[in-house]
Amino acid sequence: MDFKAYYANQQKLVENYLKNRIAKKGISKVDEAMEYSLMAGGKRIRPILLMAAAEAVGSKGYNYLPVACGLEMIHTYSLIHDDLPCMDDDDYRRGRLTNHKVFGEAMAVLAGDGLLTLAFEVMLEQKNVDPKVLIETVRDMVGGQGLDLEFEGKKITPEELRKLHAGKTGALFIAAIRGGAHLAGANDQQLLALTKFADLLGLAFQITDDILDVEGTEEELGKPVGSDAKNHKSTYVTLYGLQAAHELAEKTVAEALECLEMFGENAEPLREITRLMTDRKK
């Protein structure tokens, strides 16, 4: 398959949907703050993962754009709040000033809250899906963010670190992939395989993120590097060392790809996205 063309097309679908949906503004400046972060670019990996998971079980991914774009709104809300001074205190995201540096802390909090609320509204616009399926698709990362704060500045075990990122980073990957499969009518065996794949993908993504916080540059990533060390966070690099973290990432990617064998060519977009996510500079 021509993956670059595939990804560009899916990305355009997501961008257009988000642009049209966020254009419905109210009377408050919070709408401007919401749009600032939502339309700041990015790979749109999570909504594209949802659509690719639906395709892995034989459906058309674009049929589920409302749910896919709702997940992107949840992700953006988490980034706005994660960058706040009371969280990671970062000044740049995707190559430009973070929301609170432009609109102030209070407005940034409201922008995040607004996107989280709008996400559920957008998901409810999904047609031809059982409401119970929509409920199962929705996840958020508030619990994981709470764990992040709880463990900040503390030495934690590998098991605690795994739990932290499963609740935070991994939650949306599972929501996207399992959600897309479930929306498309996946059977129990397919759901089990894709859920395991999503969990491993989230782990590989986080290990890669920890590595890039050490090896990457702000120009490459569009955000500050070294923030983990600044905030005294336990990461896969601090717990295992840089070389071992690289090896763990490679092992996890291989295990994730094994989960897709039963889907044949239908899962090729998921395979390519996995490589994109774990071999990245931004």
- Rounded to the nearest 5°, which phi and psi values hold at 224? -60, 145
Mean pLDDT of 94-103: 95
pLDDT at 23: 83
Tell me the pTM: 0.86
Task: Give the tens place of pLDDT for each residue, 237-249.
Answer: 988 999 999 999 9
Mean pLDDT of 67-90: 91
Which of the listed ranges 5-14, 86-95, 162-171 does the model predict with the highest average pLDDT? 5-14
The encoded tokens of residue 274 equal: 């996995």
Question: Residue 141: its pLDDT value, please?
Answer: 39
- For the segment 54-78, the average pLDDT, to the nearest whole number, is 94
Distance from C-alpha of 102 to C-alpha of 36, rounded to nearest angstrom: 9
Three-state DSSP state, 96: strand
Question: Has residue 145 got a pLDDT over 90?
Answer: no
The rounded Cα 207 to chain-centroid distance in angstroms is 14
* Pairing state between β 92-93 and 96-97: antiparallel
Residue 126 structure tokens = 């999904």
Output the average pLDDT for the chain: 86
Segment 80-94, tens digit of pLDDT: 999 999 988 899 998
Of the candidates 148, 143, 205, the one whose C-alpha atom is nearest the C-alpha of residue 177 is 205
Q: Is the pLDDT of residue 148 over 90?
A: no
pLDDT digit string, tens, across residues 197-235:
999 999 999 999 899 988 876 666 666 666 665 566 788
